[in-house]
């Protein structure tokens, strides 16, 4: 390999490679901007009611500035090897430009095609759920994408899009931009022109580094990009690589726990305030000790906690009563031996958070408990199964899906459940890749019941994508539901299929409760959703309709008024509520949450808080309440709620990872 320095190191040769890089940079910026424009227009149903053209233009402008950073990063991936080849091996330079960018355009196209169904499911651009998916059953994910989201067709479309873009880039790179005829100009004129060119390149580099800005002071990044009043547009501002970068950063913070920054004194004071005890010990377990206030002399024979997949609360609200998808649950709630709390939050955004909240009693606090060695060493002191076993209950966990999902089988047994049953234990039963049909799950639970007292957690799966239960064959009146929907949603077949699965899940759940009461009338059943936020009627539901889940209590010794009239809570409050209904008065137990029968009038989770009258985001200062009934926002005691949020998070962060003793040395040794 020889180098002809006079020609290869000439200004003209340098100018050529820089111009090629600028072409690629401009091309990526144009592609990302056009992607954003089409995304916004295609999903216009998700615009807020007050969103106007000025908001859209602001989102496009802000997004294009942010995409300058993305375009710069993508350009570097091909520019660096092409630059080296330009001087060392010119014959392969063009192959590098086309080959590297062909791969990048393929990846961009796949992400773009995936972003449309992703937003419809999560109402966000790519977020931390993609990392949660790393722990899912990959085969189940694959077949879900094939069955429900037309993966082959979308992938083929992405490849066609990538090919078209690659051809356009190839033509752009083949276009020779003529040089100014400065060869015979005076030296000082050449110097001015070349300096101006280099200054232009310098500005382009700054715009790429600082996201459409010339300095860090005004830089646009994923954390400050959302400046419109419309949540959809704020998500659309992020191009797909930026959204993945956001997800990566947030996931890294979660894994490192650097999203929580509490001192030992903070945790001690917060734990003391939460428990009503003096802050005179560094042993957190002292603050977690509770005593049954009401109790019972006749404990129920069987206790059931049903974590029902995507069982949102909104179909039970008065404003949706004419949509016939929750009639069986409404009838159950109306029974005299049933009480219902409509202001309840899930532990997190996914099913695994509901499992960890119910099984361990900890809130979602930037720890992935099903992957932590500490979770498999011994049950946490707040774990529900060992404490109910001490009361004489045999403990069972029933899951409609595979035992390997999120290591749920090993995790629940490590946390004290004596028995774990999953789809593999149920024989040849119908279902989807995520689990057997709910009716089969409940039938298997009933088969395994004996007269001996038992505590049973049941996690079903039918109300989950790919939504492939033949619900119409099982009695779902799709046309009746269609007629009850607002006119603008009556032709949304995907929504009708999802609503059909809600109908099926709640019908089978109500049937199971009826069977339990007939066979064992001295039983207690507690029903909650594992999470909400999967589908609503509206494209832009209010916070309460989007995130709330029901809390339904029915069975022995339950009546209207069993729960506080102002009760509210989250999934960490399930176990304390059970203890008040199954344990004798004065019995001791360990828990972070509170009972909805005695003291719990607020709930908090990974991102939200709730009371009987208001809901809001947990990380705004000051807190901004929204009325759950849609009326004027009520006032709340901001400091009390902030302290509760911080106490739940601080304890749920420290105790599972570092143990009961508050000691700075432990933190220094283990790190955050």
| Per-residue pLDDT, 259 | 44
Mean pLDDT calculated for residue range 6-31: 77
Token duo for residue 147: 């069955």
| Per-residue pLDDT, 35 | 96
Mean pLDDT calculated for residue range 319-343: 98
Which DSSP string corresponds to 131-180? HHGGGS-HHHHHHHHHHHH-HHHHHHHHHHHHHHHHHHHHHHHHPPPPPP
| pLDDT tens per residue across span 561-605 | 999 999 999 999 999 999 999 999 999 999 999 999 999 999 999
Least confident of 141-145, 416-420, 498-502: 141-145
CA 558 to each of CA 296, 506, 587: distance values in angstroms, whole numbers, following the listed order: 11, 20, 20
| Per-residue pLDDT, 199 | 74
Per-residue pLDDT at 257 exceeds 50: no
Mean pLDDT calculated for residue range 114-139: 79
Query: 96 or 270, which is more confident?
Result: 270
> Using CA atoms, how far apart are residues 395 and 410, in angstroms rounded to an integer?
14
| pLDDT tens per residue across span 601-649 | 999 998 999 999 999 999 898 999 999 988 888 999 999 999 999 999 9
| Per-residue pLDDT, 1 | 43
| Per-residue pLDDT, 542 | 93
| pLDDT tens per residue across span 371-417 | 888 999 999 999 999 999 999 999 999 999 988 788 899 999 999 99
Least confident of 217-231, 306-320, 466-480: 217-231
What sections of 574-637 are H helices per DSSP? 574-582
What backbone phi and psi angles, to 5 degrees, belong to 15? -60, -40
Per-residue pLDDT at 258 exceeds 60: no
CA 138 to each of CA 240, 370, 404, 433: distance values in angstroms, whole numbers, following the listed order: 22, 17, 11, 10
| pLDDT tens per residue across span 453-479 | 999 999 999 999 889 999 999 999 999
| Per-residue pLDDT, 366 | 80
> Using CA atoms, how far apart are residues 1 and 401, in angstroms rounded to an integer?
61
> Using CA atoms, how far apart are residues 153 and 146, in angstroms rounded to an integer?
9
| Per-residue pLDDT, 2 | 47
Q: CB–CB of 364/351 below 8 Å?
A: no
| Per-residue pLDDT, 574 | 99
217 pLDDT band, cuts 50/70/90, is: low
User: At 341, is the secondary structure helix, strand, or coil?
Assistant: strand
75 pLDDT band, cuts 50/70/90, is: confident
Query: 90 or 265, which is more confident?
Result: 265
Beta bridge partners of residue 611, listed in sequence order: 602
pTM: predicted TM-score of the whole model, two decimal places: 0.78
Token duo for residue 658: 């570092």
Per-residue pLDDT at 484 exceeds 50: yes
CA 265 to each of CA 260, 262, 282, 322, 367: distance values in angstroms, whole numbers, following the listed order: 14, 8, 9, 52, 21
User: 568-592 burial string, b = 16+ CB within 10 Å, else e?
Assistant: bbbbbbbbbbbbbbbbeeebebbbb
| Per-residue pLDDT, 440 | 98
CA 420 to chain centroid, in Å, comes to 26
Query: 590 or 243, which is more confident?
Result: 590
Angle 305-307-309 (CA atoms, 0-180°, nearest 5)? 160
> Using CA atoms, how far apart are residues 15 and 193, in angstroms rounded to an integer?
12
Tell me the domains of the chain and their CATH numbers.
Answer: 5-255 (no CATH), 292-636 (3.40.720.10)
Mean pLDDT calculated for residue range 35-41: 95
| Per-residue pLDDT, 182 | 66
Mean pLDDT calculated for residue range 96-102: 88
| Average confidence score pLDDT of the chain | 89
- List, as own/partner pairs, every contact residues 5-11 make where C-beta atoms lie below 8 angstroms and the sequence separation is at least 24, other chains included: 8/87, 8/90, 9/87, 11/194
**Owner of token pair 């459409």:** 212
Mean pLDDT calculated for residue range 264-292: 96
Mean pLDDT calculated for residue range 39-64: 90
């Amino acid at each position: 390999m020889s180098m002809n320095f006079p020609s290869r190191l000439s200004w003209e040769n340098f100018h050529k490679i820089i111009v090629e890089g600028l072409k690629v940079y401009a091309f990526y910026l144009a592609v990302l901007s056009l992607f954003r424009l089409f995304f916004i227009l295609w999903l216009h149903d998700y615009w807020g009611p007050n969103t106007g053209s000025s908001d859209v233009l602001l989102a496009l402008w802000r997004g294009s500035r942010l995409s300058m950073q993305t375009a710069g990063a993508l350009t570097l991936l091909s520019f660096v090897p092409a630059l080296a080849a330009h001087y060392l091996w010119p014959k392969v330079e063009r192959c590098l430009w086309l080959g590297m960018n062909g791969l990048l355009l393929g990846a961009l196209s796949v992400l773009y095609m995936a972003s449309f169904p992703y937003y419809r499911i999560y109402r966000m651009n790519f977020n931390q759920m993609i990392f949660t998916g790393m722990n899912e059953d990959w085969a189940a994910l694959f077949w879900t994408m094939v069955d429900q989201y037309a993966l082959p067709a979308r992938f083929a479309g992405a490849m066609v899009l990538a090919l078209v873009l690659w051809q356009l880039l190839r033509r752009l790179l083949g276009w020779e931009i003529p040089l100014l005829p400065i060869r015979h100009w005076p030296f000082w004129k050449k110097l001015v022109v070349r300096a101006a060119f280099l200054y232009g390149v310098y500005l382009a580099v700054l715009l790429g580094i600082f996201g459409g800005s010339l300095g860090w002071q005004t830089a646009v990044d994923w954390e400050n990009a959302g400046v419109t009043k419309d949540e959809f547009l704020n998500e659309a501002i992020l191009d797909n690589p930026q959204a993945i970068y956001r997800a990566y950063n947030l996931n890294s913070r979660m894994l490192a726990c650097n999203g929580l920054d509490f001192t030992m004194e903070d945790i001690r004071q917060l734990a003391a305030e939460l428990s009503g005890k003096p802050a005179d010990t560094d042993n957190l377990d002292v603050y977690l000790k509770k005593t049954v206030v009401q109790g019972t002399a006749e404990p129920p024979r069987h206790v059931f906690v049903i974590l029902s997949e995507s069982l949102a609360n909104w179909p039970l609200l008065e404003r949706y009563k004419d949509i016939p998808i929750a009639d069986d649950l409404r009838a159950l709630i109306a029974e005299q031996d049933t009480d219902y709390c409509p202001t309840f939050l899930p532990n997190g955004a996914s099913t695994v958070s509901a499992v960890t909240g119910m099984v361990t009693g900890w809130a979602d606090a930037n720890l992935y408990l099903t992957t932590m060695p500490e979770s498999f060493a011994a049950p946490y002191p707040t774990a529900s199964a060992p404490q109910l076993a001490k009361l004489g209950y045999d403990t069972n966990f029933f899951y409609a899906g595979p035992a390997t999902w999120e290591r749920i089988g090993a995790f629940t047994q490590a946390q004290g459940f004596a028995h774990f049953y999953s789809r593999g234990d149920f024989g040849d039963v119908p279902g989807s890749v995520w689990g057997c049909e709910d009716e089969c799950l409940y039938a298997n639970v009933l088969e395994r019941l004996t007269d001996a007292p038992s505590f049973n957690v049941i996690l079903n799966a039918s109300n989950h994508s790919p939504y492939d239960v033949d619900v119409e064959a099982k009695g779902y009146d799709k046309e009746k539901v269609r007629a009850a929907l607002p006119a603008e949603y009556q032709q949304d077949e995907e929504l009708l299929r999802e609503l059909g699965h809600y109908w099926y899940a709640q019908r089978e759940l109500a049937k199971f409760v009826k069977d339990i009461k007939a066979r064992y009338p001295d039983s207690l059943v507690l029903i909650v959703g594992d999470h909400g936020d999967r589908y609503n009627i509206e494209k832009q539901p209010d916070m309460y309709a989007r995130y709330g889940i029901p809390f339904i209590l029915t069975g022995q010794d339950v009546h209207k008024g069993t729960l506080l009239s102002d009760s509210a809570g989250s999934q960490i409050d399930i176990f304390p509520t059970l203890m008040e209904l199954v344990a004798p008065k004065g019995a001791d137990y360990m828990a972070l949450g509170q009972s909805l029968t005695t003291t719990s009038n607020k709930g908090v989770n990974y991102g939200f808080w709730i009371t009987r009258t208001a809901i809001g985001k947990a990380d705004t200062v000051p807190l901004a309440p929204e009325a759950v009934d849609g009326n004027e926002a009520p006032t709340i005691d901001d400091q009390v709620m902030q302290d509760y949020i911080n106490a739940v998070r601080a304890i749920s962060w420290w105790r599972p990872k570092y143990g009961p003793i508050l000691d700075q040395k432990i933190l220094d040794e283990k790190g955050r």
